Amino acid sequence: MVAKLCHQINAAAKTLEDVKNTLTPGLTRWLNKIFKGSMIQAELNAHREVLTIKNVNCKITTCRADEMKKMFNKTLQLIGIKPTKSTATQPQQDNSIESQPTVDSTPSNDCNREQQENRNALADEMPERKTPKALPKILVKQ
């Protein structure tokens, strides 16, 4: 894909060389920036790097979820529960309506509602894992 795009950009640049006298210098610079940016994007895409703001946000969310999982496992270790290393051997989480987190429809203020929505969005994006049935009182928020 990168080679094909490179070939197309070189062909377009040669065509621009032919009509360079009729183009303004600003337009020529602008087109060269577009060509260079397209090549950079194609090379980054070939290496599977982040290309858009949406991808960056997904990567940030994934990193945040991984950090939360590490913190959770460290907390479990501190209180003496052995954390699980992988969820591959565990049964899948039940996705029925009863197991979904519920949101209080009448929060005390807008800030609490926004925080709850952020938590629910983060929980939806976190990888599925089986949580212990009984958490110590230290970990349970009230």
Domain boundaries, the chain: 2-46, 50-80
Q: How far is CA 130 from the centre of its chain?
A: 22
Q: Say if pTM beats, i.e. exceeds, 0.85.
A: no
pLDDT, one tens digit per residue, over 55-73 is 778 888 999 999 999 999 8
pLDDT, one tens digit per residue, over 23-58 is 888 888 888 888 888 888 877 777 766 567 777 788
CA angle, residues 72, 82, 101, in degrees to nearest 5: 40
Query: What 8-state DSSP symbol labels residue 57?
Result: H
**According to the model, what pLDDT value does residue 88 have?**
43
Closest CA to 116 of 124, 125, 107: 107
96, pLDDT greater than 80 = no
Split at pLDDT 50, 70, 90, the class of 139 is: low
